[in-house]
Amino acid sequence: MFDTILIANRGEIACRVIRTARRLGIRTVTVYSEADAGALHAAMADTAHCIGPAPARDSYLDIGRILDAARRSGAQAIHPGYGFLSENAEFAAACAAAGIVFIGPPPGAIRAMGSKSAAKTLMQEAGVPLVPGYHGAEQDPAHLAGEAARIGYPVLIKASAGGGGKGMRVVDDAAGFAEALALAKGEARSSFGDDTVLIERYLTRPRHVEIQVFADAHGQVVSLFERDCSIQRRHQKVVEEAPAPGMDPARRASMGEAACAAARAIGYVGAGTVEFIVEGSDFFFMEMNTRLQVEHPVTEMITGQDLVEWQLLVASGKPLPQDQLRIDGHAIEVRVYAEDPDRDFMPAVGTLTHLQPPAEGPHVRVDTGVRPGDSIGVHYDPMIAKLIVWDRDRPSAVRRLVHALSEYQVVGLQTNLGLLRRIAAHPAFAAAELDTGFIGRHGAELMPSYGPVPDAALAAAALRVLQDRAAAVAGAGRLDPFSPWNLPTAWRMNGDGYQDIVLADGETLHAVRAHSCADGSTRLDLPGGTVIAAGGTVDGVRRATPVVRSGSVLTVILDGTNHPLTLVDPLAPPHAEVAGGDRLLAPMPGRVVDVLVRPGDTVARGDVLMVLEAMKVQMRLSAPRAGVVDAIRAAPGDLVEDGAELVSFVVAEPSPQTP
């Protein structure tokens, strides 16, 4: 076994590897970019080396800098995690050339499966069923459009070199093919340095089922059963579970044998995942991920095995453990992301001003790489954590998931927690009615609903304001303890003491009047009626309702839902009006990829003006209204901040009517 390993990654997977290495007595070295100087993974390791600026190409993707850090630290092996260089054959070969063990498959196996097109050809030769499609080298747009027509719409455009949903687009008809192809190729080029794509028939109600395989250098290949990863957005997994619901023993055996055969065919060593698309009684090979998967914890929970420990054993030349593998119970994982489901899952940036995951134990596990106060920036994946639950069967695991999600608290940026809670509580999820169209089909029930702020949230916010005011008054009272103006009861010379609190929910104002009662309680006049607050209860009911305050913004966490409210000062001067729809603003920080208009161009509402890339996702930004382009404020390659003005318009005057 190794004495020292370097982890060539960041975030939760780096922290995950450190935990196993520490348990095994292995010294750990991490690398970090300048943006990650204060990151958790850098703090957890025994030593950490800075390897360059924030952009991944200058740090986490720089093979030379990582190998230099390994040499200087005395690391005997490198664990690549997932993403970045984890499936890079050149990196694996460079490690071997430097005399450092790559904790992963040999370069030849990575190359064999690194190209989705080549992998499908290999599987076809091995007799593994494939989805009808085009996997050739000819990449001329006209040729690809012809292949799409031959296959039949809808089709899926997929980056050949990629994964994680990057460089993927579903196209419903020929009219949308050219635009989707350009976006897919752009994302593939940016994420993987290779814009080669393949085209497949898009199955309408498929399930995504994958097999976890493991192989050692002594010829052993085993299957650690399957995971269902069907619930996705943007072709990226949101919910994963093991075992797959409805999987019968015969299907499990046949898929496991096919996955192991695929691993043997390429001389595989280490952890890998063979992904299948399943529809009806048929299953088709999709791809093989030659690394540890994000969702590996659900396999660990049902098998009782530590897959990172297995990776370390195999990489050090030892055979696979001879434990009898069996499925015990059911596990479900959800990915907690900084993103806005209501804006097409656009990544979010900001500071985790409040972060409180559910308590961990035998039934609940949280894998994360962030702490309260950390920031989610524009340079890397916006995942906050993975929440994993386990219980004796699927219904019990679903109940565990619902409860754990209700306890998860994040304030400071937009997250998908609300969506995850609605998925977990949805009857179709409870019934295991799973396929890759789950979120789209149930979107009306799963997407955020914006009803009025509950009185309970207004009461909690008002009580927090009163508490803060009382603390401020108490401080002043120490200076003049005999002044009635320094009493926390809002004393008045004539009439009952009361305080008015105005809270804004967006553009809607809510007025709350708080009366100090003689018995020490507080009467709150709320929009829906009056309640009495005393001793931590409201109308005699004690309810955990955290309130996180940041300046004038109070975020009430009620039944797992965040209700951000702004304390309004009625005496403050009004804010100046912001410009309306005569400007295109950046929806988030990012890099301008392309500008599609020039000053003087006439555009209609909805016309695409720019392409912006943020967190490896390319977004086409459209005109908010019809008009004439007045000025363009950013050029390709520019980095822009959230809310930055990108394009300004002159509203077209209506043509005079001839009488």
Q: Check whether residue 560 and residue 464 sit in a common domain.
A: yes
How far is residue 549's CA from residue 563's CA, in Å, rounded to a whole number?
12
Domain membership of residue 125 (yes or no) is no
- Residues 439, 446: Cα–Cα separation, whole Å: 7
Q: Residues of the chain with pLDDT > 90: what percent?
A: 68
In the DSSP assignment, the letter for residue 130 is B
Q: Is there a domain that residue 112 lies in?
A: no
Q: How far apart are CA 19 and CA 21, in angstroms?
A: 6
Q: In DSSP terms, which residues pair with 442 in a beta bridge?
A: none
Tell me: do 36 and 76 sit in the same domain.
Answer: yes
Identify whether 520 is part of a domain: yes
CATH assignment of the domain containing 405: 3.30.470.20
Same domain, yes or no: 247 and 137: no
Determine, yes or no, domain membership for 294: yes
What is the domain-level CATH number for residue 14? 3.40.50.20
Among left, alpha and beta (phi > 0; psi -120 to 50; other), residue 10 is beta
Residue with tokens 């995850």: 420
Residue 492 predicted with pLDDT over 80: no
pLDDT number for residue 616: 60
Beta-bridge mates of residue 598: none
Let me know whether 401 and 378 are in one domain.
Answer: yes
Q: Residue 310's pLDDT is what?
A: 98
Q: What are the pLDDT digits (tens) for 108-166?
A: 999 999 877 788 888 888 777 788 889 888 999 999 999 999 999 999 999 988 666 77
> What does the pLDDT look like over 238-272, one tens digit per residue?
999 999 999 999 999 999 999 999 999 899 999 99
- pLDDT score recorded for residue 577: 36
pLDDT at 580: 44
| Angstrom distance (rounded) from CA 442 to CA 574 | 41
Picking from 446, 472, 507, the residue at the C-terminal end of a domain is 446
Do 501 and 618 lie in one domain? The reply is no
Question: Which of 421, 446, 471 is where one domain is finished?
Answer: 446
pLDDT at 451: 80
pLDDT tens digits, one per residue of 282-338? 899 988 999 999 999 999 999 999 999 999 999 999 999 988 899 999 999 999 999
Angle at the Cα of 169 from the Cα atoms of 165 and 172, rounded to 5 degrees:
145
Whether residue 223 contacts residue 211, with contact meaning beta carbons closer than 8 Å, is answered with yes
The residue among 568, 595, 620 that closes a domain is 568
Residue 111 lies in a domain: no
Rounded CA separation 410/336 (Å): 10
Amino acid residing at 374: D
Structural domains in the chain (count): 5
In the beta sheet, which residues pair with residue 532? 523
| Distance, CA of 301 to CA of 493 (rounded, Å) | 66
Angle, vertex CA 125, rays to CA 124 and CA 130, nearest 5: 5
Q: Please write the tens of the pLDDT for every residue from 600-652.
A: 999 888 888 998 887 666 778 888 888 899 999 999 988 888 788 899 988 75
Question: Most distant CA pair in the chain: distance in Å?
Answer: 92
Residue whose C-alpha is closest to residue 170's, from 186, 160, 183, 161 = 183
> 587-596, pLDDT tens digit by residue?
777 889 899 9
Beta bridge partners of 48: 30
Structural domain range at position 371: 207-446
pLDDT (0 to 100) of residue 475: 62
Tokens encoding 149:
């027509």
| Structural domain includes residue 190 | yes
In whole angstroms, what is the distance from residue 332 CA to residue 519 CA? 50
Residues assigned a catalytic role: 291
For residues 35 and 32, give the distance between their C-alpha atoms in angstroms, rounded to a whole number: 8
**Cα–chain-centroid distance for residue 417?**
10
pLDDT tens digits for 202-232? Answer: 888 899 999 999 999 999 999 999 999 999 9
Residues 436 and 475 in one domain: no
Q: Is the pLDDT score of 507 beyond 90? A: no
pLDDT tens, residue by residue, 558-567: 988 999 999 9
Residue 63 has pLDDT above 90, yes or no: yes
386 and 267 belong to one structural domain: yes
Q: Distance (Å, rounded) from C-alpha 269 to C-alpha 2?
A: 17
φ, ψ dihedrals at 285, nearest 5°: -65, 135
Whether 290 and 360 map to the same domain: the answer is yes
pLDDT 10s digits, 454-474 = 999 999 999 999 999 888 877
Whether 167 and 219 map to the same domain: the answer is: no
Q: Does residue 122 belong to any structural domain of this protein?
A: no
Q: What element of type H or E holds 636?
A: none
Sign of CA dihedral 491, 492, 495, 500: negative
Degrees, nearest 5: CA angle 471-476-480: 140
Q: What is the mean pLDDT of the chain?
A: 90
Considering the domain architecture, whether residues 92 and 70 belong to the same structural domain is answered as: yes
β-bridge partners, 658: none
Task: State which H helix or E strand residue 479 sits in.
Answer: helix 455-479
**Candidate from 42-56, 421-435, 571-585 with smallest mean pLDDT:** 571-585
**Most confident of the ranges 186-195, 365-374, 631-640:** 365-374
What is the phi/psi pair of residue 318, to 5°? -85, 155
Look at residue 641 in the predicted model and tell me its pLDDT: 81
Enter the tokens of residue 491.
């004393």
* Model confidence, pTM: 0.82
Q: How far apart are CA 314 and CA 269, in angstroms?
A: 8
Phi and psi dihedrals of 609, rounded to 5? Answer: -110, -40
Is residue 574 in some structural domain? no
CATH number, domain containing residue 609: 2.40.50.100
Choose between 71 and 536: higher pLDDT.
Answer: 71
Position 153 scores a pLDDT of 94
Assess contact for 405 and 420: CB atoms under 8 A. Answer: yes
If asked whether residues 498 and 543 sit together in one domain, one would say yes
437 and 460 belong to one structural domain: no
Q: Rounded distance, CA 31 to CA 23, Å?
A: 20
> Which residues share a beta bridge with 610?
595, 621
Per-residue pLDDT at 212: 98
End-to-end CA distance of the chain: give it in Å, rounded.
91
